[in-house]
Amino acid sequence: MPGLRLTPEQAQKLWGLTRHDCESLMHNLLDSQFLRRTRDGSFVLFDANSPVTGLDKRVVAA
């Protein structure tokens, strides 16, 4: 879905994952540059054509 922004908690709930599994998944998606992390900690689709200011590859436990 274009423009979708999810917090770690929202992603976990949406996909029905444990916190550990969700963090692992998000970490892999960040490393593969499929997703990027916004300044507020949300995850969005990585777009190589947009500025990536505030890019943060860390997955922080909530």
Which tens digit of pLDDT belongs to each residue from 5-62?
999 999 999 999 999 999 999 999 999 989 999 889 899 988 767 655 444 555 444 4
pLDDT of res. 42:
93
The string of DSSP codes covering 17-41 is --HHHHHHHHHHHHHTTSEEE-TTS
Instruction: Go through the domains of the chain in sequence order and give each one's CATH number.
Output: 1-62 (1.10.10)
For residue 12, the tally of other CB atoms under 10 A from its CB is: 20
| pTM (predicted TM-score) | 0.70
- For helices 19-31 and 8-15, angle between their N-to-C axes, nearest 10 degrees: 110
